[in-house]
Amino acid sequence: MIEKPLLVLDFDGVIVDGIEEYWSSSRQTCLNILSAKEKEIISFPSEIPKAFKAMRPWVHHGWEMVILAAECSNKTSQLNLKGLQDFSRNYQIECSLALKKWGWTPLQLQEALNQTRREAISNNFNQWLNFHQPFSLVTQRLKTLEKEDIEFAILTTKSIEFTKKLLHCFDLQPKLVFGHESGSKADVLNELLQERIILGFIEDRRTTLEKILEDTKLKSIPCYLASWGYLKPKDRNNLPSGIKLLNLDTLREPISKWS
């Protein structure tokens, strides 16, 4: 067992607000993979559609953003015809139906999105970087953990490749970084518990924290829902006893005072 305790954090929505990059990369990925005929029918605005922003809290994997970009921009899509509430109520089903309609697969979209990001980084790294806005209070707090003899790890569904680039630019040096390549968050946390004392897991996706609570082997990990993240309208309501809503004022306090 490693003596230094560990704080584990999600990345998107907890450390960084990347909504501008999500739209830019998802929009460009659509343009890269759509046929010329399809691009004649669909118009992709340069500004982020309100529907794309509103649906962000439902996104779990990067490829879903490409689906949302296509659906937001297609006037005859189920998202635009049914509206946000109806689409979000059956989010997973609607994404699956949209995949079939477009003839895409999650793997195809994830690889295309990754390639779009690589090209954006290669062509204009500063522009790509500026699309990401770190939550300054969070990054400042992480930099003080070392004085408390605490290490931190990043656990995200983003690619490790792009997460590490951003962490470097934010001058953050986590002990460990896990991306979508590392497996499910529950599996990663189970592996970490074999070697580390985990002081807490900060996440802005309530359903992810609820899955952590369902795993009896993870009951020793305090779960925190980031109030500043991409939350659904009702995410703050009636939280189960194992999940605490964490705000930025509390974040400044010693971790022992969070619970």
Domain ranges of the chain: 6-17+134-257, 19-129
User: What is the structure's pLDDT at 3?
Assistant: 82
Q: Label residue 210 exposed, middle or buried (CB < 10 Å: 0-12, 13-18, 19+).
A: middle
- The pLDDT > 90 percentage for the chain reads 93
Q: What is the pLDDT of residues 60-79, one digit of tens each?
A: 899 999 999 999 999 889 99
Candidates 7, 6, 5, 13; CA nearest to 156 is 13
User: What is the structure's pLDDT at 41?
Assistant: 83
Q: Are 178 and 188 in contact (CB under 8 A)?
A: yes
Average pLDDT over residues 77-98: 94
- Residue 28 CA, chain-centre distance (Å), reads 19
Cα separation, 26 vs 30, in Å, equals: 6
Strand pairing class (151-155; 133-134): unpaired
Cα separation, 16 vs 228, in Å, equals: 10
Average pLDDT over residues 120-134: 96
Count of beta carbons in the 10 Å neighbourhood of residue 111: 13
Residue 1 has pLDDT above 80, yes or no: no
Architecture of domain 6-17+134-257: 3-Layer(aba) Sandwich (3.40)
8-state DSSP, 194: T
8-state DSSP, 14: T
Mean pLDDT over all residues of the chain? 95
Cα separation, 254 vs 56, in Å, equals: 31
Cα separation, 230 vs 16, in Å, equals: 11
